Structure 1
Amino acid sequence: MRFSTSKKTLLTLSACFIIGLTLNAQDVAVLKYNGGGDWYGNPTALPNLVKFCNDNINTNINESIETVEVSSTDIFQYPFLHMTGHGNVFFSDEDAENLRNYLFSGGFLHIDDNYGMEPYITKELKKVFPNKELVEIPKTHPIFNAAYEFPNGLPKIHEHDGKAPQALGIFDEGRLLLLFTFESDIGDGWEDPEVHNDPEDVRLKALKMGANIMKYVFVN
């Protein structure tokens, strides 16, 4: 299994990524992955979050949400990728290398465990970053106050196992490359109100935390 990427390759991909950002400065996409998990879950979540951000925190994110496959170089056209699901995830060696290059080149991935995804995604992330670990993001990190204040960290949206919500990340030289939201199910709170019948204050917490993530990626 090959984990290293030459500096020349990274420089080339970084240049492509910069060109992509120029053309698609505030585009987002849902990440499609293999393994049988429901990557297509929460279909109304990201569109609702994008609209909330554009209406409330002065972003100009494209409200047309695309889907990209983890193996495709098309991911380099999107500075923000969102990934969710309940079950199995599988990254081939090629998937892992493509995703690693994307993240090292300036991209950002938000993975939201929709309940049941954690044991699979944590294993597959070792293929992407064999020498890095998911670590808890401190509550003082800018992602918790980029637009709205969350002094206690990630909000709890759905109970599931009743555990405390965790915001975990992978960093490189101080830059947050990847956010994994676990035991929160924040994406469910972004969905249309009738999908989960969450109280409005719960949905608003989820949307505000989502807006923090978006602002952290697009504005900071």
Structure 2
Amino acid sequence: MKNSLLHIKSIITTACFIAGFTVFAQDVAVVKYDGGGDWYSNPTALPNLVKFCNDNIETNINESIETVEAGSIDIFQYPFLHMTGHGNVFFSEDDAENLRKYLLSGGFLHIDDNYGMEPFIKKELKKVFPNKDLVEIPKTHPIFNVAYEFPNGLPKIHEHDAKAPQALGIFHENRLVLLFTFESDLGDGWEDQEVHNDPEDVRLKALKMGANIMKYVFVN
């Protein structure tokens, strides 16, 4: 009986995702997670990125940004999820299973380390995909050239530890389902200019890379 109920729940979840993908084809959401990390950081980042995409690369993304919990069925309404923060991340077993089903069903998750998130998120992602590892995304991947050219890969937006920026990913059946941007801090570059006082060319670089991510998900 229990297995039957789980099977029914899985079918309903997948059906909700398919329906949601049709109705909310260009909606995005921020993921709220447990563990104490500031999932709510960079509040102006995603709205600014969405507006930049709609103005410059012919997307039609809903500019109203919602918040969803990692373990909620609501994530299946959003083809694109964004996570950020500086500190601890914790996924329960239900969270991990929910995210895994979402990603394998066609969803996409971008995790942008706002500095300090990396050791925690890597550990928690093993709950989501125990048999998959984060791998470096080659500079020839479409995510670096689908709208704007980044021949050297992920741009450096904010300096923290004098390390090179890294774009790491998890693939399923040759599809990039999860992108983890590290030592770049794209989200800081997407924020309102007065938040970090970044030069305009730096902000533009961050927004263009963000537009590549969005176009890879919604248009490519």
TM-score higher than 0.5 here?
yes
Could you say if the C-alpha distance between residues 192 and 29 of structure 1 is closer, same or farther in structure 2, counting changes exceeding 3 Å?
Answer: same
Alignment of 1:31-50 (within 5 A): 31-50=31-50
The Cα offsets for residues 66-92 of structure 1, whole Å up to 9 and x where unpaired, read as: 000001000000000000000000000
2:96 maps to 96
The answer as to whether partners of 1:14 and 1:106 remain within 8 angstroms in 2 is no
The answer as to whether partners of 1:54 and 1:61 remain within 8 angstroms in 2 is yes
Could you say if the C-alpha distance between residues 198 and 68 of structure 1 is closer, same or farther in structure 2, counting changes exceeding 3 Å?
Answer: same
Identify unmatched segments of 5+ residues in structure 1: 1-5
**How far apart are residue 22 of structure 1 and its match?**
1.0
Cα distance between partner residues in 1 of 2:171 and 2:164? 22
**How far apart are residue 16 of structure 1 and its match?**
2.0
Partner amino acid for 1:116?
G
The answer as to whether partners of 2:13 and 2:73 remain within 8 angstroms in 1 is no
The Cα offsets for residues 81-104 of structure 1, whole Å up to 9 and x where unpaired, read as: 000000000000000000000000
Partner amino acid for 2:134?
L
The answer as to whether partners of 1:13 and 1:105 remain within 8 angstroms in 2 is no
Alignment of 1:13-24 (within 5 A): 13-24=13-24
Cα distance between partner residues in 1 of 2:69 and 2:130? 22
Supply the RMSD in Å over aligned alpha carbons.
1.2
The Cα offsets for residues 125-159 of structure 1, whole Å up to 9 and x where unpaired, read as: 00000000000000000000110000000000001
2:200 maps to 200
Cα distance between partner residues in 2 of 1:208 and 1:7? 42
**How far apart are residue 14 of structure 1 and its match?**
2.9
The answer as to whether partners of 1:31 and 1:69 remain within 8 angstroms in 2 is yes
1:138 aligns with 2:156: no
1:3 maps to none
What is the TM-score when the length of structure 1 is the normalising length?
0.95
Corresponding residue SS for 1:139: coil
1:210 maps to 210
1:121 aligns with 2:115: no
1:168 maps to 168
2:30 maps to 30
2:108 maps to 108
Corresponding residue SS for 1:168: strand
The answer as to whether partners of 1:97 and 1:128 remain within 8 angstroms in 2 is yes
Cα distance between partner residues in 2 of 1:12 and 1:55? 36
The answer as to whether partners of 1:10 and 1:105 remain within 8 angstroms in 2 is no
The answer as to whether partners of 1:108 and 1:177 remain within 8 angstroms in 2 is yes
1:81 aligns with 2:77: no
Cα distance between partner residues in 2 of 1:12 and 1:145? 36
Cα distance between partner residues in 2 of 1:10 and 1:204? 41
